[in-house]
Chain A
């Protein structure tokens, strides 16, 4: 049985580390990209089940990346969750109009992140990992 594949597109290694840690107790496959352009290439190759997309990035920002994802016949149906520190009304409306599934406001908690992603993909706990971390 295939596990959900999550693509995180963010220029921050810190965010990648936190996302990796948040999903370490779940059966998921994680793939990472450090800007929008790289994200598009990886998305086309990996066909993820959900994309976590940062807004402010070098090379290609999240808004341009999202526009290109939505214009791509193969990728437009992949649910996108935006991660952004910019919570202004105009910014949120602009993102909502572009067809994102959801958005997560930075700063975010691991629980909040898992909650949002679990609304899009079926997250199953990694029992082997949980067994390893259960105290005797």
Chain B
């Protein structure tokens, strides 16, 4: 009798894993901290770059077995609504920056934890925030270029999360 060994489970590519993680943790962070549930994310496992960022963008670096950077981009009107809902008051410019920095920290922290559990150990940098409409980011040596965009009911702005990394 010929015994055919079971084939190993199909290994998922890291980009696909990262999209799965973002599709879980971004809605979780937004719902829990802001009280806004985004609609399902529209992901791209091979996002083109350079890409343009408009509005308020939090960024956090990853270093270790995964080296790269995570961007969480909120167009200005969305950033203002998110900060107001989170803090329960009309936000100052500094409040908006603080909220975007902390939400980026939570999204990236969750991503990092899941990557570490999968064997991709890495550490995070402190979040930084940039504002502007003419910001282009590129990652020429990145082997992973993932983008995930989250719409909100009744809003035209998208929350966009981008991960550029090398394994």
Asked whether A and B interact, the reply is yes
Query: Residues of A with Cβ closer than 8 Å to B?
Result: 11-15, 17-18, 21, 56-58, 84-91, 106-109
Closest to A109 in B: B32
Interface of B is mostly: helix
B98 touching A12 by the CB < 8 A rule? yes
Nearest-neighbor residue (CB-CB) of A89 within chain B:
B117
Contact pick for A88, options B87, B88, B101, B112, CB 8 Å: B112
Are A108 and B32 in contact, with the CB atoms below 8 A? yes
Chain B residues positioned under 8 Å from A107 (CB to CB): 28-29, 32-33, 106
Selected A-B contacts with CB under 8 Å, 6 pairs: A13-B98, A18-B86, A18-B87, A57-B126, A85-B105, A85-B110
Question: For the complex, what is the distance from the CA of A58 to the CA of B87, rounded to whole Å?
Answer: 23
Q: How far is the CA of A30 from the CA of B112 in the complex (A)?
A: 31
In whole angstroms, what is the CA distance A107 to B29 when docked? 5
Query: Is the pair A56, B109 in contact by a Cβ cutoff of 8 Å?
Result: yes
Number of B residues with CB within 8 Å of any CB on chain A: 26
Instruction: Note all chain A residues with C-beta closer than 8 A to B98.
Output: 12-14
How far, in whole Å, are A21 and B85 apart by their CA atoms in the complex?
13
Cα distance A91–B126 when bound, in Å? 17
B residues 107-131 in Cβ contact with A at 8 Å: 108-110, 112-114, 116-117, 121, 124, 126
Give the CA-CA distance A12 to B98 in the complex, in Å. 6
Give chain A nearest CB distance to B161 CB in angstroms: 14
Closest 10 CB pairs of A and B: A85-B109, A107-B32, A88-B113, A88-B116, A87-B113, A12-B102, A14-B102, A85-B106, A13-B98, A107-B33
